[in-house]
Amino acid sequence: MYRQQLDYLSQWVKVKHRKPIIIRGARQVGKSTLVRLLSQQCFLDLIELNFERNPELATLFKSHDPQKILQLISLQTGKTLQPGRTLLFLDEIQEATEAIVALRYFYEELPELHILAAGSLLEFTLSKAAFSIPVGRIEYLHIGPMTLIEFMLALGESALSEFLQNYQIHQEIPKPIHDKLMDITKIYFIIGGMPESIQAYLEDNTFQTSEKVKQSILSTYRDDFGKYALTTLHELTRKIFTKIPLMIGDKFKYSQISRESKSIQVATALNQLCLARVAWKVHHTSANGVPLGAEQNDRFFKVLFLDVGLVSTSLGLSYLNLVDVDELIFINKGNMAEQFIGQHLLYLNPSYEEPHLYYWVREKKSAAAEIDYMISFGQQIIPIEVKAGKTGQMKSLHIFLKEKQRYLGVRFNSEPPSLIDTTINLSDGSEVAFRLLSLPFYLVERLNQLI
């Protein structure tokens, strides 16, 4: 199955003095498959070492001499590593800090060798930093679940995918095409972007097989708690893991998780899930300027789950629940729609950039306002509202644009795209003139280009 990161890695292969790349992402998002696809596409001989299955392989990297390390790998695997023709893949590298350190010397002394590494729980190893991380000698590539466009390609809908990737805002989308794109989006809401879930759906074209896969993935994540969660916090981690799908779109409150546990305990357990990339914090920002993170308020945040398909399974939804409604309302105040948009916005920027996501809220008596997501585009700050159905008030968007003196707002809903200039009268008697870019859910990956 095609992944958009292949394009970046294919260019990396051609660079003469390339840095080793560490692929970062949650378990089962397709890191290993991405590497194997690259080796096939670029005709590189793949030599794969998995430090989780074979932890003893870490001893091969104790030397700081790349040539000696290659000799030991050749003896171990029975294969010859040829710089320029071999792709060395170090999987689950978080289990071998010696290998992480050795990447520095490969870059400095043998940059012509293609080296990729990956780790499902790598963030825990990097956060401890009890060793010398080869800063400046390695690159990171971030990968999440498959996107909607990648899902379309997997379905064989290459023409629709190409249509979306070339779409321009003033281009009319005929109703039959719009309806088909929305139907595929609905399917994605249930199947999600986990590659194994998509593959299961493709094999028998039923949701039942995909559902079994997603249940298995959720169980795998629960089993992982023992690898990184403090023993005393296992039960609390399980509670947070279970409740996050119910809390999407809402300000995260520690008391909603457990009234018996201290806030610091809940915060610690949540941070462990975030390090595992099973959950993502959407931080509050004052949004007065860029970068948005400069005015991040760590006390206020919302939480996203890894994947919308896993959310649907956690909530006990099925495809039949969704086709019975006229709009993409998706139950629970539209949190499925907010999850869908959020997980795509996280990876909207180039894969080598660390994923971040923000929202804005003004908490004043009788004048509260909240914007679902905030992104920056150059020096512009773009507020984004997510509406589950076709319509919905945008009072908060109007207030934000007025207060921050911004002129462009974005709305995602189930209607065909439009771009309008309008003036709205506010409740205080003032008015705000702005441009509204309204997009259907299926155009979320084109947001930067359309802006």
| CA dist., res. 149 & res. 401, Å (int) | 31
Amino acid at 413: N
Q: Are strands 114-119 and 358-362 parallel, antiparallel or unpaired?
A: unpaired
Amino acid at 241: F
Cα–Cα distances in angstroms (integers) from residue 221 to residues 27, 53, 119, 307, 315, in the given order: 8, 18, 14, 13, 16
> 390: pLDDT confidence band, cut at 50, 70 and 90?
low
Residue 96 has pLDDT above 60, yes or no: yes
The tens digit of pLDDT for each residue in 211-262 reads 999 999 999 999 998 888 777 888 999 999 999 999 999 999 998 998 888 9
> 38: pLDDT confidence band, cut at 50, 70 and 90?
very high
| CA dist., res. 354 & res. 274, Å (int) | 13
> 418: pLDDT confidence band, cut at 50, 70 and 90?
very high
Angle between helices 175-191 and 148-155 (to 10 degrees): 100
Residue 351 has pLDDT above 60, yes or no: yes
> 131: pLDDT confidence band, cut at 50, 70 and 90?
low
pLDDT computed for residue 228 by the predictor: 83
pLDDT computed for residue 433 by the predictor: 93
Look-up of token digits 């509202």: 385
Q: Are strands 431-440 and 408-413 parallel, antiparallel or unpaired?
A: parallel
Rg (CA), the chain: 23
| CA dist., res. 397 & res. 158, Å (int) | 35
Hey, is 46 helix, strand or coil? Answer: strand
Percent of the chain with pLDDT over 90: 77
Q: Structural domains in the chain?
A: 5-142 (3.40.50.300), 164-450 (no CATH)
Tokens of 22: 């560490």
Amino acid at 244: I
The tens digit of pLDDT for each residue in 305-325 reads 999 999 999 988 766 555 554
Q: How are strands ordered across the β-sheet holding 418-425? A: 296-305, 279-285, 358-362, 369-377, 380-386, 408-413, 431-440, 418-425
DSSP calls for 150-204: HHHHHHT-HHHHHHHHT--TTS---HHHHHHHHHHHHHHHHH-S-HHHHHHHHHH
Cis ω for the linkage preceding 291 (within 30 of 0): yes
Residue of 4, 313, 2, 290 whose CA lies nearest to 141:
4
Q: Are 267 and 253 in contact (CB under 8 A)?
A: no
Cα–Cα distances in angstroms (integers) from residue 265 to residues 42, 81, 183, 257, in the given order: 47, 47, 42, 11
| CA dist., res. 340 & res. 146, Å (int) | 12
Which has the minimum average pLDDT: 120-124, 243-247, 309-313, 439-443?
A: 120-124
pLDDT computed for residue 206 by the predictor: 84
121: Cβ–Cβ under 8 A, 6 or more apart, which residues?
A: 27, 94, 224, 227, 228, 275, 276
Tokens of 188: 């994605």
